[in-house]
Structure 1
Amino acid sequence: MFAGSYCGSPPGLHEIAMRWNFDPALIAVLACGLALALRARNRLAAAGVALLAVAFVSPLCAASVTLFSARSVHHLFLIAASLAFAMAVRDSSTSSRIARTLSGLHLPIGPATIVMTVVLWGWHVPALYDAALSNMLVYWVMQLSILATSFAFWHAVCRAGAVGAVGGLLGGMVQMGFLGALLTFAARPFYLVHIVAAPSWGISALADQQLSGLIMWVGGMAPFAIGAAVIARKAWLRQDDTMRAAGIVRNPA
């Protein structure tokens, strides 16, 4: 029943532009999510839904069956979407039932970082990864677990103090960098589906895997940099509020 790749067979380079995914169930879920975000006037939640649409509806979904580097981009979209959702929950009204529920279901920053790391690294074990691309049920367990644990991490970062948040962000950056380095400097390709499919795009499976590692190593830092910028801005605003409450005016010079 669940046999086969959710995003279809590996596409050739000549057909990738036509490989959009209009799965009715997926479109219905994304449409409901967008409707809820627009009803709540939450632009961050809407941005998260849009990122998921790029990941699962656009040709990126099909490209990730052929190229492991496209799969890395796909995973970065999931991590970025989870960041948008975590920020959306943080900015939601305290009267929001969803916001209250999610705020009550959270992990401290340390365990959240560990769980996210274990899940992300676990799905890069070749046997588990190949299973996810050959069975749709396993595929969705992969996608949802990465999205959920990334959300738990970002939610913990948003709730933590400055020191804890910076520690969590550094931990996230380090684990992403190590995983990227492992893929970049590996002497052989790890994943069967890409060993077979990647050469059809004129790239060897090993070069594709090395490119994937660089994407995770360099591009994977972007969500953590965004998170750090948000934390720095919050700290700056809190300092301004404290100074104003004390009657101190910041010197613009």
Structure 2
Amino acid sequence: MIRAFLPVLGMLLAASAAQSHGGGDHGPQWTFDPWVVAPLLLSLALYLGGTLRLWRRAGFGRGIGVRQAGAYALGWLSLAGALLSPLHWFGERLFTWHMVEHEIVMAVSAPLLVLARPGGAFAWALPAALRRPVWRVGQAWPLRRAWAFLTVPVVATILHGLAIWIWHAPPLFDATVRHVDIHRLQHLSFLLSALLFWWALVRRCEPGPAALHIAITMLHTGLLGALLTFASRVLYGAQTAQAGLWGLTPLEDQQLAGLIMWVPAGTVYAAAALAFLAAWLRRPGKAWRADDAVPS
């Protein structure tokens, strides 16, 4: 399965080499950045290969449920759409669409990928001779201790919040539209911190506290969105420089971006918090298990 993707990966990487990031303005277009395309294709090949291998051995839907596979498919497609589709092209030119892109990555793709629990599929995709050595590396004391610390719900919530606020510092955010490497690092930070955040809440947190962590995240991101919405001057000069091409002033572009972070993204967090609360209320007097939040 993985070998079948290598020719496709090669063609996409060759095409991306001829296309500069944000250059060649010929209208809306897909962005084939090799540093994004390669990990996306590799993760898809590993997941499909591991899932099909397990299903051939254990039976369809055994070990990796159909709902899990569906969650991974939706998470992967939303992530690829956010980072490769014309949405990314628009996001480099309009702050409003850049904000939409980020919210899809953090509030849609990340929780879906966490619910899919892709680790098992990735493991089954490896040759049998590599599974045990890879497992041993993953069980090494420093890695286990680091993972245990990073996925403490309070720690994961703080790290995710720091990633959001630090990257929205105007000089740093403007640098992402000028320098491709900084832009890649921003997206990677958002995705990884969001994966840690949702994984910690789903796998290491009871639903009541998980709802509280989401509410805290909703409040501080809503505050940041409100600050952008009601700002009386332009804070992101480079990001909003092309707003006039789309019939907006730079300040209007900034305000719309803040409104998207504040209201639609806040609605997603509120829905997730309510889902955790509903799970909590459905299990009175019973111990919470992380698998209760994961589709089978």
Name which of structure 1's ranges 220-229 and 209-218 shifts more when overlaid on structure 2.
Answer: 220-229
User: Structure 2: which 5+ residue stretches go unaligned?
Assistant: 1-18, 52-63, 125-130, 288-296
- On the 8 A contact 1:37/1:46 being kept in 2, the answer is no
* RMSD after superposition: 3.1
Pick from 11, 14, 22 the counterpart of residue 8 of structure 1: 22
Shift of 1:66: 1.1
Q: Which amino acid in the other structure matches residue 51 of structure 1?
A: S
- On the 8 A contact 1:10/1:62 being kept in 2, the answer is no
Instruction: Please name the residue that 1:199 is paired with.
Output: 244
User: Structure 1: which 5+ residue stretches go unaligned?
Assistant: 243-253
Deviations 1:70-123 (A, max 9, x none): 111011111121111222229968x87899959952422222111111110111
Pick from 65, 70, 90 the counterpart of residue 63 of structure 1: 90
> How many residues align structurally?
233
- On the 8 A contact 2:163/2:193 being kept in 1, the answer is yes
Name which of structure 1's ranges 112-121 and 187-196 shifts more when overlaid on structure 2.
Answer: 187-196
Residues in 1 aligned to 2:71 and 2:222: alpha-carbon distance in whole angstroms: 27
Name which of structure 1's ranges 43-52 and 102-111 shifts more when overlaid on structure 2.
Answer: 102-111
2:42 paired with 1:32: yes
Instruction: Please name the residue that 1:189 is paired with.
Output: 234
2:193 paired with 1:179: no
CA 1:10–1:99 in 2, change beyond 3 Å: closer, same or farther?
farther
- Name the SS of the counterpart of 1:66 in structure 2: coil
- Name the SS of the counterpart of 1:231 in structure 2: helix
Residues in 2 aligned to 1:194 and 1:10: alpha-carbon distance in whole angstroms: 18
Residues in 2 aligned to 1:91 and 1:241: alpha-carbon distance in whole angstroms: 28
Instruction: Please name the residue that 1:247 is paired with.
Output: none
Pick from 23, 32, 38 the counterpart of residue 22 of structure 1: 32
Residues in 2 aligned to 1:34 and 1:229: alpha-carbon distance in whole angstroms: 31
- On the 8 A contact 2:211/2:272 being kept in 1, the answer is no
CA 1:47–1:66 in 2, change beyond 3 Å: closer, same or farther?
same
Shift of 1:235: 3.2
Instruction: Please name the residue that 2:197 is paired with.
Output: 153
Name which of structure 1's ranges 155-164 and 19-28 shifts more when overlaid on structure 2.
Answer: 19-28
Deviations 1:183-229 (A, max 9, x none): 00000111122332111111111011111111001111243234224
Pick from 140, 146, 163 the counterpart of residue 119 of structure 1: 163
Residues in 2 aligned to 1:36 and 1:174: alpha-carbon distance in whole angstroms: 37
- On the 8 A contact 2:212/2:273 being kept in 1, the answer is no
CA 1:66–1:92 in 2, change beyond 3 Å: closer, same or farther?
same
Residues in 2 aligned to 1:50 and 1:203: alpha-carbon distance in whole angstroms: 30
2:255 paired with 1:210: yes
Instruction: Please name the residue that 2:101 is paired with.
Output: 74
Pick from 190, 200, 213 the counterpart of residue 168 of structure 1: 213
Q: Which amino acid in the other structure matches residue 70 of structure 1?
A: W
- Give TM-score, length-normalised by structure 1: 0.80
- Name the SS of the counterpart of 1:193 in structure 2: coil
Pick from 148, 159, 176 the counterpart of residue 132 of structure 1: 176
Shift of 1:8: 0.4
Instruction: Please name the residue that 1:250 is paired with.
Output: none
Residues in 2 aligned to 1:232 and 1:92: alpha-carbon distance in whole angstroms: 28
- On the 8 A contact 2:177/2:239 being kept in 1, the answer is no
Residues in 2 aligned to 1:155 and 1:194: alpha-carbon distance in whole angstroms: 31
CA 1:99–1:46 in 2, change beyond 3 Å: closer, same or farther?
farther
Percent identity over paired residues = 31
Shift of 1:170: 0.9
Deviations 1:124-167 (A, max 9, x none): 11111111211121111111111111111111111201232121
- On the 8 A contact 1:47/1:84 being kept in 2, the answer is yes
Instruction: Please name the residue that 1:223 is paired with.
Output: 268
Shift of 1:233: 5.0
